Structure 1
Amino acid sequence: MPNHVAFNPEFPDITESNRLWERASGLIPAGTQTLAKGPTQYSNGIAPKCLRRGRGARVWDVDGNEYLDYSMGVGPVILGYCHPAVDEAIQRQLQDGITFSLMHPLEVELAERMRDCIPNAEAVRFCKTGCDITTAAMRLARAYTGRERVLCCGYHSWHDWYIGITDRAAGIPAATRDLTHTIQYNDIASVLDAIDDGTACVILEPLVFEQEDGSFLKTLREVCEQFGALLVFDEMWTGFRCALGGAQEFLGVRADLSLFSKAMANGMPIAAITGRRDVMSLLEKDVFFFTTFGGETLSLAAAIACIDFMEKHHVQAEIARTGQRLTDGLRKLIRKLKMDYVSVSGYPFRSLLNLAPMDGDPLAMKTLLQQELLRRGILWSGTHALSYSHLPEDIEYTLAAYEKSLIALNDAVERGEVLQRLRGDLVQAVFRKTSHFHVKPRLDAGRLNRQLA
């Protein structure tokens, strides 16, 4: 019998998952279309590899095992799987068609909807993926400022301008790599070290798992204005999750451009670039950014329905309450078990469980914790992306599952048996290096003082 969201005596049977993985091997490079969904982030041998269906906050794998999901499609599923408000909108539009030879009224309707709820969204354009939107923003910033250099902080997907500065830069020209450098979050000195008169923009994830210190983004806004650089918020994770209007509303800091995808359509593929009209107007002619599927109607209909539901039902406030119950419960549990090498960071709408032992391998510990949670019907890869469908009883069960799993982890740590207790392969480090790499050499002291003045 397949496992359920329960204290199952055995680990889930993943026979069919493994068969599908064998079929993909050699046919699909890396075996997956999304790195965060592949076996490197879930213990190979214990975790399922393929999910077949979902409803609410629960998913079922191809072997029939049920899990309470804390990844939610790696972020997009904010209302819950198969949410009727969105699915019905998709089905209604499907009766009329998907992609047309001319533009569709839904393009205008969604643009107006986003203008009304997102601060500073004086103009709006759509495409299908977050990586395309971030690249469009870089091209816009360069065209508007007449400059080429970019400063970034966070993860901004696979296009050349960003991925060229990581350790997966094969195929990226050196000239492209040399135009992008990184800054550190909550460290305005790192910005002042790197920014200059050739900087087109600073792009960053406005909220990460480290709490914003209360002044960093406000000061960053001022520094960008001082140097004539645009400030760009990559809101793939914060958009429609921390607040209906995203990080600009949540933090009260204005960006010149804000970029959205993931949660805006509850899982349908769509992305949007919004911002100042004078910058966005370059998309009229000077900056070429057009796609065949940018006006695909099922995603447009889904986004309108999703935004309308979120506003009507105060979804962000509900997710914050649910997430706060989870983080408060975890912190209480960690104190109770006296596991001082475990902590929770981030925000209620998206939190991270940290494992930082004085000695030992944190990835081995993460793998063992994931293993124990999987046996209890929790699908987890380190973070908690809360949805509107996570109910109070789900949080209560999750905390009970965490307690048993953390006790098992702590016992293994104290006995020095973490590796011996693993039933599958170690998970690999998340490809998400966001600080202390490809940093521009520090400015000379005299120039820095002149800029600070």
Structure 2
Amino acid sequence: MGKGQELYKKAKTFIPGGTMLLSKRPEMFLPDLWPSYYSKSKGCQVWDLDDKMYYDMSLMGVGTNTLGYADARVDSAVRGVVDNGNMTTLNCPEEVYLAEKLIEINPWADMVRFSRSGGEANAIAIRIARAASGKDNVAICGYHGWHDWYLSVNLNDQGEDLSGHLLAGLDVNGVPHNLKNSVYPFMYNDYDELVNIVENHDIGVIKMEVIRNFGPEDNFLQKVRDLASTKGIVLIFDECTSGFRETYGGIFKKYGVEPDLTVFGKTIANGYALTAVVGKRAIMEAAQNTFISSTFWTERIGPTAALAALDAIQEEKSYEQITAIGNNVRTKWSKLASLHNLKISIAGIPALSTYSFESKNALLYKTFITQEMLKKGFLASTNFYACIKHSDDVIDHYFDELEVVYSKIAKVEHGIIDANTLLSGAVCHGGFKRLN
């Protein structure tokens, strides 16, 4: 057993669930065998506590580091402000510079509020939008964090819960029951469902991811925009995950549809804690009529990192690079599956690609890939979040090793060997999913 698993066993005695993020729990990858913790990282490489190096062909910080780990430009800017002090009684000027930069990128908007996590930023956006609309009820599509306002959807009657958006059966323990029927989910591209919710539930806010597993059909986004405008509803596009992955800004720019508010996270500071709510003045000013405030939203590292990251993203056109890299990987997955007569389904935008085997053994195969690729020096599963440091050489090496794994999976799928012989341990847990 490596040092990572030893530490994880200790962690579970001190930390409920073992980790702060569901998506980073070792059981989601390879129970009892996943290295769990890192000692250092650079580019697309990660070293564990036993100083073994892996190429990260999986989550890349859960999608935070599109410039690669430890980008010199971003880290240098951060070191500079650390030397001059990260927090004082006075405010850091970088938050003003960053707000100005984000308005420059989003000329339809006028004002910005910052926080340090995606869930916080989405909660801020909801508070502002509810204050601006004067209405409590929200229609949502997609994943928007862990806070009470969002998880309260699972208090609704079956069929109006999060089962079609995330993992089925998420517990609502601790969520006030009087929030029931204040947030209503609708399925992506189902405009009629949204209209029905708006007409019957006095909706003041529509909050949605612009794209997740597939794109808009039949002018869907423009129809949502027009509906919101006609009904006086605040429209929020959640770009925490999709922002700066296909455009220099929100992915909504691809479709020519602008929201009233948008939320940026993940990529914006290349791994440092910074998220932003960007919006129109008439909506954002409602923040003055409620209470939204937190000490550590004023620290200096986050906005400094974001300023440097945004400059690097613009200079590199990283969003174009990671899209091309993601498309290359998807093509190679498809060819590899076809070569071995395996059926897979690929989803997500190119830079955030995932796939699943069309088989009753899908979860077992996913675990087997992780197990075998780990031996070859890769953090790998059935997903790939691209960064600009994923070179052709790294990708070719990854596929050379993955071909061997697929070959064995094919033998199981075609009845040549027993599936029960594949794993050294338990099957991984069903992962966190965006189903919508």
Q: Is the 8 A contact 1:59 1:68 kept in 2?
A: yes
1:127 pairs with 2:130:
no
Structure 1 residues 339 and 296, CA gap change in structure 2 (3 angstroms): same
The structural deviation recorded for 1:433 is 5.6
Contact 2:341–2:410, Cα closer than 8 Å, also in 1: no
Give the corresponding residue for 2:263: 259
Once the 2 structures are TM-superposed, how far is the Cα of residue 40 of structure 1 from its aligned partner?
2.5
CA contact (8 A) 2:205 2:234 kept: yes
Shift of 1:78: 1.4
Local SS of the residue matching 2:17: helix
Alpha-carbon distance, 1:259 to partner: 0.3
Residue matched to 2:296: 293
SS at match of 2:295: coil
Match of 1:241 in 2: 245
- Alignment match, 1:104: 92
Taking the aligned partners of 2:126 and 2:381, their CA distance within structure 1 comes to 31
Question: In structure 2, what is the equivalent of residue 42 of structure 1?
Answer: 29
1:326 correspondence with 2:313: no
Distance 1:325 1:214, change over 3 A: farther
Q: Superposition pairs for residues 150-169 of structure 1, below 5 Å?
A: 150-166=138-154, 167-169=170-172
The answer for the alignment partner of 1:354 in structure 2 is 356
Whether the aligned pair in 2 keeps the contact of 1:119 and 1:245 (CA below 8 Å) is: no
Shift of 1:324: 1.6
C-alpha contact (below 8 Å) 2:369/2:381 kept by paired residues: no
Q: Could you say which residue in structure 2 is the equivalent of 1:450? A: none
CA distance in 2, matches of 1:233, 1:422: 42
Contact (CA 8 Å) 1:155, 1:432: kept in 2 or not?
no
Give the Cα separation in 2 of the matches to 1:414 and 1:338: 9
2:283 equivalent to 1:279: yes
1:362 Cα deviation after fit: 2.2
**Greater than 3 Å deviation, 4+ residue runs:** 431-435
Q: Would you say 1:20 and 2:7 are equivalent positions?
A: yes
1:345 aligns with 2:347: yes
Q: Trace 1:440-451 onto structure 2 (pairs within 5 A).
A: none
Q: Judge conservation of contact 1:76–1:267 (CA < 8 Å) in 2.
A: yes
- Partners of 1:288 and 1:17 lie apart in 2 by 42
Whether the 8 Å CA contact 1:367–1:427 is kept in 2: the answer is: yes
Name the SS for the 2:60 alignment partner. Answer: coil
* C-alpha deviation, 1:189, in angstroms: 2.1
Are 2:212 and 2:348, in contact at CA under 8 Å, matched by a contact in 1?
yes
Measure the CA separation in 1 of the matches of 2:381 and 2:231: 40
Equivalent residue, structure 2, for 1:387: 387
Question: Aligned letter for 2:141?
Answer: C
Per-residue deviation, 1:265: 0.5
Residue by residue over 1:6-25, the C-alpha shift from the partner in whole angstroms, topping out at 9 and shown as x without a partner, is: xxxxxxxx521121012112
Alignment pair present for 1:77 and 2:76: no
Partner residue in 1 for 2:163 = none
Give the Cα separation in 2 of the matches to 1:234 and 1:85: 27
CA distance, structure 2, for counterparts of residue 387 and residue 336 of structure 1: 27
For structure 1, list consecutive stretches of 5 or more residues without a partner in the other structure: 1-13, 436-453
Residue 287 of structure 1: CA displacement?
Answer: 2.1
**1:208 corresponding residue in structure 2:** 212
Q: Which amino acid aligns with 2:352?
A: R
What is the distance in 2 between the residues matched to 1:152 and 1:39?
30
The Cα offsets for residues 350-374 of structure 1, whole Å up to 9 and x where unpaired, read as: 11112222xx242222212222222
Query: 5+ unaligned residues in a row in structure 2: which ranges?
Result: 155-169
Matched residue type, 1:271: T
- Superposition CA RMSD, Å: 1.7
- Shifted more, 39-48 versus 23-32: the winner is 39-48
Aligned mates of 2:274, 2:264 — CA distance in 1: 9
* TM score, norm. by length of structure 2: 0.92
2:213–2:435 Cα contact (<8 Å) kept: no
- Pairwise CA distance, 1:112: 0.8
- CA deviation vs aligned residue, 1:225-263 (integer Å, no higher than 9, x gap): 232212111111111222111122232211111001111
Which residue identity is paired with 1:61?
D
Q: Is the 8 A contact 2:151 2:172 kept in 1?
A: yes
Contact 2:234 2:260 in 1 (8 A): yes
Instruction: Report how many residues are paired.
Output: 418
Are 2:407 and 1:407 aligned?
yes
- The 3-state SS of whatever aligns with 2:262 is strand
Q: TM-score, normalised by structure 1?
A: 0.88
Secondary structure of the 2:257 match is coil
Q: Secondary structure at the match of 2:263?
A: strand
Q: Retained in 1: the 8 A contact 2:212–2:434?
A: no
